Amino acid sequence: MRFAKWFAVLVVVVFSASSAMAAGFRLPEAGAKAMGMGFAFTAQADNPSAIYFNPAGITQLKGSNLLFGGTFIQENGGTFTGLTNTAPTFSSKTETQKDLTFIIGDAYYTRTTSTGFAYGVGIFTPFGLGQEYKDRNTSIFRNQITKIDLQTIVVNPTVAYKVNEFLSVGAGIDYMYGRAKLAKNAMYPVDNSTNLYNLDLKGDGDAWGYNFGLLLTPSQNVRIGFSYRSPFTLEIKDGDVEIRNIDNTAILGAGPTYATTIFGGTSFNTKGSAVIRMPATAALGVAYTMGRLTVEADADWTFWHSYKSLPIDIRNNNSILPDSNAAKNWKDVCALRIGAEYRVTDPLSLRAGFVYDPTPAPAETLGPELPDATRQNYMVGAGYKIGPWTIDGAFMYVKKNDRTVSNIRLDENNRATGMNGTWSGDAWLAGLDIGYKF
């Protein structure tokens, strides 16, 4: 699949996708129409983004359809107030992450035949994560994480069939390409305040999955949808590990032994690997139409139990450059989504939605790479048709609940990690899609 990989690399470069706009590091921003309805779109699924939300829905479309666009994300840096372990004594500290902006792209093509058979392909970003602290050498989290960037792209060929007026089915194969970057510092273990070195790890990998969906139409006004997407295991092999600014003053052992002695200089290069297990997802939705108004409610599950740890294996490791396997033990969660669309005129539709999105991250394993919290998402949107063209726009505000944790502990290498304190933050997003029917 060399072609598929390089195609995915190109798409990642064009759509620089990395953030975390649902609980955990899931990204449901795969279509502006769905965003305007609070992503309650599993049963409606009536535009090409159905490839992501429910592939059975593409049987509702006529002829050939193109849809492409993206979502602009403004992630306001989260603020932490409390205690960490990056000082000789524990004292109250405050840290604010950088404000970050991202663009997530989406593109779809569908074709429906007169025999009830439909097919298509979608390109979207189901998972991503971006967090960065202002100064890697002074951050209170520098011994744990100062930057993380996870980018994924999925190419999803899809087929669907309208069995009868009551039932449509759809399924697809998912090819994922992903790349990750991570930055942190090692600290002098005696007083936990001196930087031993800066570490940067980057690499890429790919994974395969599948998805399927069902669409039931028990009456003219009611639609019921179900969709499932399998988990992905993204293996990053032979990533580049760069060790820089190695300290040559802190004594680590008898001899005396310095960090530069262990590494053979002030810089060192090696390889590393990591495994990121991304969860399966499922959604069940019911839509009801009353004249010009359609209302939908969805239950959306993310099976985060697969994300038990984040193993990182360093080749040529040593006493101050160890492997790591940070425990995560995330929990399965169910987000509740509700949305509505009112067709003001034949060309113009107005939309609104709300999502209650619980966090999967338990307090005991919460880390500064993703200080996750339960969220309330508020959305509004609109759509307009001009001949064969459609324009859909949406705006979304993400309110993260304040998250208080107390989890300072020793890791498997007898190094203190964690924090005792409170996180707060928010974000906003704007999406735009343009469609063409021919």
The full 3-state SS of 178-211, as one line of letters, equals EEEEEEEEEECCCCCCCEEEEEEEEEEEEEEEEE
Looking at residue 358, its pLDDT comes to: 95
Retrieve residue 185's tokens: 């510092």
Q: Report the chain's terminal Cα–Cα distance, integer Å.
A: 31
Summarize pLDDT for 244-286 with one digit per residue, the tens: 999 888 777 767 788 888 888 899 999 999 888 999 999 999 9
The residues spanned by each domain of the chain are 2-437
Looking at residue 30, its pLDDT comes to: 94
| Mean residue pLDDT across the chain | 88
183 pLDDT higher than 60: yes
> Which segments of 130-179 does DSSP mark as H helices, in order?
none
9 pLDDT higher than 80: no
Summarize pLDDT for 10-48 with one digit per residue, the tens: 344 334 444 555 667 899 999 999 999 999 999 999 999
| Alpha carbon separation from 161 to 5, 222, 284 (Å, rounded) | 29, 19, 19
Residue 10 has phi, psi (to 5 degrees) of -60, -45
Residue 263 has phi, psi (to 5 degrees) of -90, -15
This prediction's pTM: 0.88
Q: Who has greater pLDDT, 182 or 43?
A: 43
Task: Count Cα atoms within 13 angstroms, Cβ side, for 289.
Answer: 13
The amino acid that residue 149 corresponds to is D
Looking at residue 6, its pLDDT comes to: 39
Tell the CATH topology of 2-437: Porin (2.40.160)
Retrieve residue 119's tokens: 């097919």
85 pLDDT higher than 70: no
171 pLDDT higher than 50: yes
Looking at residue 135, its pLDDT comes to: 84
pLDDT band at 86 (very low <50, low <70, confident <90, very high): low
By C-alpha distance, which of 352, 350, 348, 351 is closest to 384? Answer: 348
Whether residue 54 contacts residue 61, with contact meaning beta carbons closer than 8 Å, is answered with no
Residue 232 makes CB contacts below 8 A (sequence gap 6+) with: 127, 174, 176, 207, 208, 209, 277, 278
Whether residue 236 contacts residue 205, with contact meaning beta carbons closer than 8 Å, is answered with yes
Whether residue 142 contacts residue 187, with contact meaning beta carbons closer than 8 Å, is answered with yes
Looking at residue 128, its pLDDT comes to: 87
For Cα atoms 284, 35, 224, give the angle at the middle one, nearest 5 degrees.
25
**Which residue is associated with the tokens 């592939």?**
55
| Whole-number Å distance between alpha carbons of 175 and 391 | 28
- Please report which helix (H) or strand (E) contains residue 339, including its range: strand 333-343
Summarize pLDDT for 186-237 with one digit per residue, the tens: 887 655 667 889 999 999 999 999 999 999 999 999 999 999 999 999 998 8
| Alpha carbon separation from 133 to 16, 92, 118, 141, 194 (Å, rounded) | 19, 18, 47, 8, 18
CB crowding 273-297: b at 16 or more within 10 Å, else e: bbbbbbbbbbbbbbbebeeeebbbb
pLDDT > 90 fraction of the chain, expressed in percent and rounded: 57
